[in-house]
């Protein structure tokens, strides 16, 4: 099944930001495009706005003047739905209400040809439920673009329960012919990105609610240690707290209030107070011109230890050893295999976050996971009130000697980056096991849709098959609510590896 021919007209119903963006994508790709909006005059306004954006592309030498003129000649505001009768694809981007969308597509079904593809750009409603109102739901599917549609490459091609394979394939190939990167997924709450991304926000909020760290510190650790482009607090301020919470609430409700997707009470209070982020001038952060910039907690300078003792492999943190050596700190090796730990001159231990807490052990400081320990500019440490000050000082001094800023956070199991990555990996494995999407498409979606440094399965391979399971299993013991219970898919993944390696 091939993509739609460029001579085939494409219609966009709904001319808000997303509708205009989708129309621009189809238009620049070479299709005749019809714009329709139920509000009189809106389609003409949208056509003018698209023309202005094309003018800006010409001014920036990203589009030729002749190509702009040809595109504008193919753009037509429609006076009514009947003007869409000859279209080969109609994409809807109207109000996120099931009844509104169902009524629209019932009307379209009576107008367009039998082989016309019908698509919704919904991000929160069930594609199956919208298509269920149609006489022929086989040609109905989701085409979920990301905002701004002309710039972001990802398109989730969502098959409802009744969507024909031929329809999904044609839509997939059409999106690819438009220069987009399509990924195929089944109709599940949140599709790929909004389902698997929930822990990125939820775990940051949970650390904050536990009073383990402030938003600026958590964001800095996610960026400077985790390798994420933005922290959870600044990103939700950019998205809009109301928008982000609405998506979280929709996924939670759609999964029958599954505890793994429980919304944040702190975020709810933020929305209730009207602090919606950048658009309201205040969210987690204050955006007033005279507001003082929130800075992350950074530890004062400490002397580095003269040496460290390694006991066994450092696992995912093994790249720390050459950094310690390059910093001129002596490394002494012991034969004992205690996993991911260093022993400091004070006798205290420095351990990679594993889902346990410092208070459970004598003199232990935990350090967080990093995307790349060499490139990381900040490392988070956690300790309990019982941890010796000398041990904490030596741990701080060690990472400072490696050129890192250090943030000391509260004694929360799994810290910040580690628990976030583990939960993302878990949800990804669960999604594959339930037929939502392939590993490759999930990795692609999370890199392109939310700009993660690695896809979940790339993280999983880098960290080791059993890493996420072990961390979440330890977290689940300390929080038996079910939020951190590893999925059966992750358990099978880790257990199969153990069996191959001969573990009984």
CB-based contacts of 442: which residues, under 8 Å, 6+ apart? Answer: 183, 192, 196, 428, 431, 432, 436, 455, 456, 457
Distance CA 263, CA 257 (A): 10
Q: Of the listed 123, 167, 358, 460, which one is catalytic?
A: 123
Distance CA 348, CA 339 (A): 15
Nearest to 422 by CA among 370, 471, 382, 462: 471
Helix, strand or coil, per DSSP, at residue 320:
helix
Q: What six digits make up the tokens of 362?
A: 């004598």
Q: What six digits make up the tokens of 303?
A: 């002397």
Inter-residue contact 18 to 93 (CB < 8 Å): yes
β 349-352/341-343 pair status:
antiparallel
Helix, strand or coil, per DSSP, at residue 140:
strand
**Number of neighbours of residue 166 by Cβ within 10 angstroms:** 13
Q: Of the listed 92, 109, 156, 302, which one is catalytic?
A: 156
CB-based contacts of 151: which residues, under 8 Å, 6+ apart? Answer: none
Establish whether 144 is a catalytic residue.
yes
Distance CA 1, CA 295 (A): 54
Query: Computed from CA positions of residues 380, 382, 388, 389, in that sequence, does the dihedral angle turn out positive or negative?
Result: positive
Q: Of the listed 144, 282, 429, 493, which one is catalytic?
A: 144
Residue 232's φ and ψ, nearest 5 degrees, are: -65, -35
Q: Of the listed 194, 225, 250, 382, which one is catalytic?
A: 194
Establish whether 493 is a catalytic residue.
no
Query: What angle is formed at CA 53 by the lines to CA 49 and CA 56, rounded to 5 degrees?
Result: 140
Establish whether 297 is a catalytic residue.
no
Catalytic residues: 123, 144, 156, 194
């Amino acid at each position: 099944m091939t993509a739609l021919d460029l001579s085939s007209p494409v219609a966009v119903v709904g001319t808000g930001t997303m509708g205009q963006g989708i129309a621009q994508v189809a238009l620049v790709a070479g299709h005749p495009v019809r714009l329709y909006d139920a509000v009189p005059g809106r389609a003409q306004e949208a056509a003018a706005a698209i023309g202005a954006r094309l003018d800006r592309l010409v001014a920036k030498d990203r589009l030729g003047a002749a190509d702009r003129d040809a595109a504008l000649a193919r753009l037509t505001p429609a006076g009514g739905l009947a003007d869409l009768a000859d279209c080969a694809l109609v994409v809807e981007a109207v109000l996120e209400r099931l009844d509104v969308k169902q009524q629209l597509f019932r009307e379209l079904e009576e107008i367009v040809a039998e082989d016309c593809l019908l698509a919704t750009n919904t991000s929160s409603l069930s594609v199956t439920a919208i298509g269920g109102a149609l006489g022929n739901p086989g040609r109905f599917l989701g085409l979920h673009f990301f905002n701004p549609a002309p710039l972001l490459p990802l398109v989730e091609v969502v098959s409802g329960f009744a969507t024909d394979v031929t329809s999904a394939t044609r839509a997939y190939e059409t999106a690819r012919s438009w220069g987009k990167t399509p990924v195929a997924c089944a109709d599940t709450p949140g599709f790929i990105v909004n389902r698997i991304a929930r822990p990125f926000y939820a775990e940051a909020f949970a650390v904050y609610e536990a009073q383990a760290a402030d938003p600026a510190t958590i964001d800095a650790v996610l960026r400077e240690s985790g390798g994420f482009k933005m922290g959870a607090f600044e990103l939700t301020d950019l998205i809009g707290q109301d928008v982000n919470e609405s998506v979280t609430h929709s996924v939670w409700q759609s999964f029958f209030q599954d505890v793994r997707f429980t919304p944040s009470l702190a975020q709810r209070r933020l929305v209730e107070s009207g602090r919606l982020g950048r658009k309201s001038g205040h969210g987690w952060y204050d955006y007033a011109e005279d507001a003082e910039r929130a800075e992350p907690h950074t530890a004062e300078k400490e002397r580095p230890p003269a040496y460290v003792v390694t006991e066994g492999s450092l696992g995912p943190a093994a790249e720390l050893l050459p950094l310690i050596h390059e910093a001129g700190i002596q490394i002494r090796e012991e034969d004992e295999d205690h996993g991911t730990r260093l022993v400091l001159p004070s006798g205290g231990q420095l351990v990679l976050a594993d889902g346990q807490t410092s208070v459970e052990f004598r003199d232990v400081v935990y350090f967080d996971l990093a995307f790349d320990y060499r490139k990381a500019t900040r490392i988070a440490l956690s300790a309990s009130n019982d941890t010796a000050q000398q041990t904490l000082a030596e741990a701080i001094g060690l990472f400072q000697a490696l050129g890192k800023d250090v943030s000391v956070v509260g004694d929360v199991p799994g810290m910040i980056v580690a628990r976030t990555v583990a939960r993302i990996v878990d949800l990804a494995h669960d999604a594959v096991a339930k037929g939502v999407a392939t590993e490759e498409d999930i990795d692609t979606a999370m890199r392109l849709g939310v700009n993660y440094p690695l896809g979940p399965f790339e993280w999983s391979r880098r960290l080791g098959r059993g890493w996420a399971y072990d961390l979440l299993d330890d977290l689940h013991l300390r929080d038996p609510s079910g939020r951190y219970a590893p999925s059966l898919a992750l358990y099978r993944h880790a257990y199969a590896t153990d069996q191959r390696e001969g573990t009984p």
